[in-house]
Amino acid sequence: MNNLLKPPRVGRRAFKVWLRNRDTWLKFYRASLVGNLAEPVLFLLAFGLGLSRFITDIDGLPYINYIAPGLMLAAAMNAATFECTFGAYTRMSAQKTYDAIIVTPVSIEEVAAGDILWGASKGFLSAIVILAVLVPWGLAASPWLLLAPLLFLLSGLMFASMSMIVTAFAPSYDYFAYYFSLVVSPMFFFSGVFFPLTSLPAWVRTVSWFMPLTHAVNISRGLATGNVSASLLLDGLWMLVFTLAAGWLAINLIKKRLIK
């Protein structure tokens, strides 16, 4: 237990693990980018255009404008989560890639950190790609969006670290079904992506406050609409603290799982 609280020792070599993942990704990045883009755009078209005729403006925004900022972050969540559950688990168990790397000067902590960085990069990329569509589409226009890359990066790290904790415990691929249906999907629906949380009972709002995506969506909507307030700093702080704790724990848990 004490070992889990020790600060993980991560050096520059974590980047070598990131590079390994980048090299493999570059082999099929076109397909990957299309995948990143297709799903959120489908959501925008279906919900934004399809539903908006039946839904009044929310907080003064047409429905499609309302959901666009949240969808970017949901995409970041999905990409980082997928990479650090199925992707990382495959490298750790089936392919034994971790085993191969840790007999080199790269440590197990750096392998875990490298995979988290990579998951974060995939999350970042997913969100950026969508932003690149939203801006010319006219769905996001505020100059505050210049801060969006920072938000995407932090969100990527947050969801990647969280997923890595799950991976450290996973006995098989099936185990991820629990995480997706009990954590990821509820976050997708109840973090304020599709409707304001104020329309929900108080207890649901309390639960939502503990969901990382809620805070990321708050900030994202603020940046996209230019409706920025000091409360967003609190959201940012929440994310920062959560990410540090989750990353710390994830790295130590992966180490505990692999080193016997």
Q: How far is the CB of 104 from another protein (least distance, A)?
A: 4
C-alpha to C-alpha distance for 258 and 260, rounded to whole angstroms: 6
Q: Which of 42, 49, 59, 104 binds another protein (CB under 8 A)?
A: 104
Q: Which of 72, 106, 217, 251 binds another protein (CB under 8 A)?
A: 106
Q: How far is the CB of 23 from another protein (least distance, A)?
A: 6
Binding to another protein by residue 259, rule CB under 8 A? yes
The encoded tokens of residue 143 equal: 């100059």
- Residue 52's alpha-carbon distances to 61, 87, 220, in angstroms, are 11, 36, 20
- Residue 91's alpha-carbon distances to 19, 83, 85, 119, in angstroms, are 14, 10, 10, 13
Q: How far is the CB of 122 from another protein (least distance, A)?
A: 15
Q: How far is the CB of 100 from another protein (least distance, A)?
A: 4
Binding to another protein by residue 234, rule CB under 8 A? no
Q: Which stretch binds another protein (CB under 8 A): 17-25, 120-128, 147-155, 194-202?
A: 17-25
Q: Which of 100, 237, 244, 245 binds another protein (CB under 8 A)?
A: 100
Encoded one letter per residue, x for contact with another protein by CB under 8 A and - for no contact, window 127-166 reads: ----------------------------------------
CB distance 55 to 63 below 8 Å: yes
C-alpha to C-alpha distance for 164 and 90, rounded to whole angstroms: 12
SS3 state at 95 = coil
C-alpha to C-alpha distance for 157 and 247, rounded to whole angstroms: 8
Binding to another protein by residue 23, rule CB under 8 A? yes
